[in-house]
Each structure stands twice: as structure tokens, then as C-alpha cells.
Structure 1
Amino acid sequence: MNPTDVSLHDLITEIHEFDRKLQALEEKYNLRSEDFFELYETGQLRDEDLDEIDEFGRWAAWYRMRARRIAQYDTLKTAFLTEQTQPNGIVLKPHQALQEAA
């Protein structure tokens, strides 16, 4: 996904999807993703079982991708809020697709 083509809505949707994936692994292994990632990055995890290696690789990748999406969100959010600022405050409106579905 090209960072210039992404919307806040898309980023929020992706972040929530990563949250669901990470939460499932956190519950499976009884460990928060932040703690897992530290163990993964420092090479402290056992690497004898191919299924674990594969799953841990996905876990680490999803954690990294979520962090990148949050950074993108923070950048776009700042610009968005600046654009929405009016003399009487910041104007927030529902996402267009949600308005049309209602």
C-alpha cells in the first residue's frame, strides 16, 4: 500500500485487524506482543519446532506492520485534524461509507 494513497479509515481498519491477530496469539501463548517481540528480537525464543518458527515469524511481522500503520496513522491524523480545525473547534464527521450505509 502506497503511504500517499492510504486513508485514515483504511489505517484504522488495518490496525484493528492486526489487533485481532495479535490478541489471538497473546491469548494462545499468555504473553503480550510487546514482551514476545522483545524475546523474538533478542533471540531468546527456542527455534527447534518449524511450526513455532513459522507462527513466531508471523507474530513478529504483524507486530511490526501494526507499528508502521500506527506511525502512518499518527502522521495522517495530525494533518487531518489541522484541516478540520474551525474557529469554534475541530469538526468531526462520520466516515462517508458509514453515512451512506445508515
Structure 2
Amino acid sequence: MTLTLEAIIEDLHAIESELRELEKKYKVRSETFYELYTNGHIEHRKEFIRWVALVEAKHLREKQYQDLAVKNPDQLAMALSE
């Protein structure tokens, strides 16, 4: 199933909102947390597993956005001209 640019952006906004809440709670940026977690420096608690999943979902959506944007530059240009 191919997502639209609009759907990808909506997903990114939702993911980023959840990431901001975790960053506020723990006072750590998500990318820093992710690096520490994946290198074994942080315990595997339920909330941290969720945080990792959100970071990975963000990475996936960002890649999907870039792939779609490269394939459909006219769609981006049209959205910017509205």
C-alpha cells in the first residue's frame, strides 16, 4: 500500500508529537535516546520500547516521504503553489 504525501505528513506530525512528550518527560532528545538504547546503555522498559518504535516509525515515514517526493516533484510543487 502506497501512502500519499499528505498521509505521511500527518503520520509524521502525530509521531513527532508523541516524541516531544517523551523528550519533555525524560529531558533527552529522541535521537540521543535511540542511540543509547540501541547500544545497550538503557534498560528495556515498556515505555522505552515504545519510544524506540516511535523513532523507528519516524525514520520509516521520513524515508517514505523522501522517496515519494523524489518520484513526484510535480505534486510537491503543486502543493506549494496553492
TM-score, normalised via structure 1 length: 0.72
C-alpha distance in 2 between matches for 1:14 and 1:41: 23
Q: What is the RMSD computed on CA atoms of the aligned residues? A: 2.1
2:35 corresponds to which of 33, 38, 49: 38
In structure 1, the partner of 2:67 is 75
Identity among equivalent positions (%) equals 31
2:79 corresponds to 1:93: yes
2:9 corresponds to 1:12: yes
In structure 2, the partner of 1:50 is none
- State the AA in 2 paired with 1:29: Y
Normalized per residue, the structure richer in helix is: 2
Distance 1:91 1:42, change over 3 A: closer
2:25 corresponds to which of 24, 28, 31: 28
C-alpha distance in 2 between matches for 1:91 and 1:40: 39
Q: Which has the larger radius of gyration?
A: 1
Number of residue pairs matched by the alignment: 81
Q: Secondary structure at the match of 1:72?
A: helix
Superposed displacement of residue 46, structure 1: 3.5
